[in-house]
Amino acid sequence: MSGPADTPPAAAASWTRQSERSSAAIMRFMAWLSLTLGRRLSRVVLHGIAAYFVAFAPAAGRASRAYLARALGRAPTLADRYRHILAFATTIHDRIYFLNERFDLFDIQIDGAEQVDAALAGGRGVLLFGAHLGSFEALRALGRHHTRHTVCMLMHEDNARKLNSVLAAINPAAVQDVLALGRLDSMLQLRDRLDAGQMIGVLADRTPQADTRPQDFLGAPAEFPLGPFRLAAMLRRPVLFMTALYLGGNRYRLRFAQLADFSAVDREGRDAAIDAAQRAYAQQLEQCCRSAPYNWFNFFDFWRPDGAGPRP
């Protein structure tokens, strides 16, 4: 979040801090309200939020219509657009319960758990490549609760700081699960966590960098960032696709699929392995978008004609 373009840097920084404090206060109130009233009663407000954004967020609405037309294979109705926003609001709301370890409220199934076990068998950790699809919190919280392998989120420093402020408002214990890139010791921390057998989650469908490569996605080329795949190749680690899809009601489905194992790739074959892994990632993502179309939460034009790639 940033201040207006004509705001001086010092004032903009002050405005940003005030905005973040306000957002944290709102999140603390929502967490208290949701945990006090319970999931069923506190979900009532989500319908009003979804209706508001369908009516008064035209840019997000255009992006939603464009995406849903690709995912559904037809022109989306008003009900489709409403379901799309409601699914987004629901996953944000459920974050409160996952981060407070209220797993008893949910029916969660896991597809591909054996892929995780196999990737972790060597004891060198694994990279989990997800997207702005479904709920990352469902995966991370489940990993913290049910296995000895913790799940850490890797993201750029500014995004990590903002997310940490939100997580702290919901549950301060969750802050340690976010690792920020861009610091002098970031790569050392990342390597140490992997060497300790941790699972590191990366959202590989957006990047603040301009280094991207086009992959076929929902009927047209879209620019996907190369950075996560180059990082995996440099660290020589196995990579799995992961997502936690919201299926309605209290149901989530965790899905894992192998993308690549860079531990066996030499320098000469690295570029080809990176391209193959990114192509497999785009294919997995497309399958999820077609099977659970209301779970895709990139509310901007992902197939921009200017070739600039996905925005952060």
pLDDT in tens, 84-109: 999 999 999 999 999 888 889 999 99
Please indicate, yes or no, if residue 10 is contained in any of the structural domains. Answer: no
Q: Indicate whether 4 belongs to any domain.
A: no
Segments forming the whole domain that contains residue 217: 15-295
The answer to whether the CB of 156 falls within 8 A of the CB of 186 is: no
pLDDT at 20: 43
> Where does the pLDDT of residue 63 fall: very low under 50, low under 70, confident under 90, or very high at 90 and above?
very high
Q: How confident is the model at residue 52 (pLDDT cuts 50, 70, 90)?
A: very high
Between 144 and 98, the higher pLDDT residue: 98
Write down how long the chain is. Answer: 312
pTM of the full predicted structure? 0.85
Taking the C-alpha atoms of residue 268 and residue 102, their distance in angstroms, rounded to an integer, is 47
What pLDDT, on the 0 to 100 scale, is given for residue 14? 41
Q: What is the pLDDT of residues 185-230, one digit of tens each?
A: 888 999 999 998 889 999 999 866 668 999 999 999 999 999 999 9
Give the C-alpha separation, 30 to 48, whole Å.
15
Give the DSSP H or E segment for 256: strand 251-261
Asked if residue 303 belongs to a domain, the reply is: no
Residue 69: strand, helix, or coil: helix
Give whichever of 30-44, 97-111, 288-302 has the largest mean pLDDT: 288-302
> Could you tell me the sign of the dihedral formed by the alpha carbons of 169, 202, 217, 133, in that order?
negative
In a domain, 183, yes or no: yes
Q: Residue 272: phi, psi to the nearest 5?
A: -65, -40
Instruction: Tell how far CA 256 is from the center of its chain.
Output: 14
Q: Which helix (H) or strand (E) holds 162?
A: helix 157-170
- Both tokens assigned to 219: 């009927």
- Mean pLDDT, residues 247-267: 92
Structurally, the chain folds into a number of domains equal to 1
Whether the predicted pLDDT of 164 surpasses 80: no
Report residue 168 CA to chain centroid gap.
18
CB atoms within 10 A of CB 171: 16
Confirm whether 2 is domain-assigned: no
> Do the domain assignments include residue 6?
no
Is the pLDDT at 304 greater than 50? The verdict is yes
pLDDT at 159: 63
Instruction: Kindly state the average pLDDT of the residues 274-278.
Output: 96
Residue with tokens 């029916």: 107
Q: Which residue has the tokens 């799309």?
A: 84
Query: Looking at the DSSP assignment, which residues form a beta bridge with residue 155?
Result: 180
Are residues 307 and 223 in contact, defined by beta-carbon separation less than 8 angstroms?
yes
pLDDT recorded at residue 146: 60
Closest by CA position to 301, among listed 6, 37, 59, 46? 59
Q: Residue 22's pLDDT band (boundaries 50, 70, 90)?
A: very low
Tokens of 130: 């997800």
Express as a percent the part of the chain with pLDDT over 70.
Answer: 80
- Residue 15: pLDDT band by 50, 70, 90 thresholds? very low
User: If you average pLDDT over every residue of the chain, what do you get?
Assistant: 84
Taking residue 149's Cβ as centre, other Cβ atoms within 10 Å add up to: 16
pLDDT bracket for residue 21 (50, 70, 90): very low
Mean pLDDT of 22-46: 81
Q: Look at residue 7 and tell me if it is in a domain.
A: no
At position 303, the amino acid (one-letter code) is W
Residue 88 CA, distance from chain mean position: 12
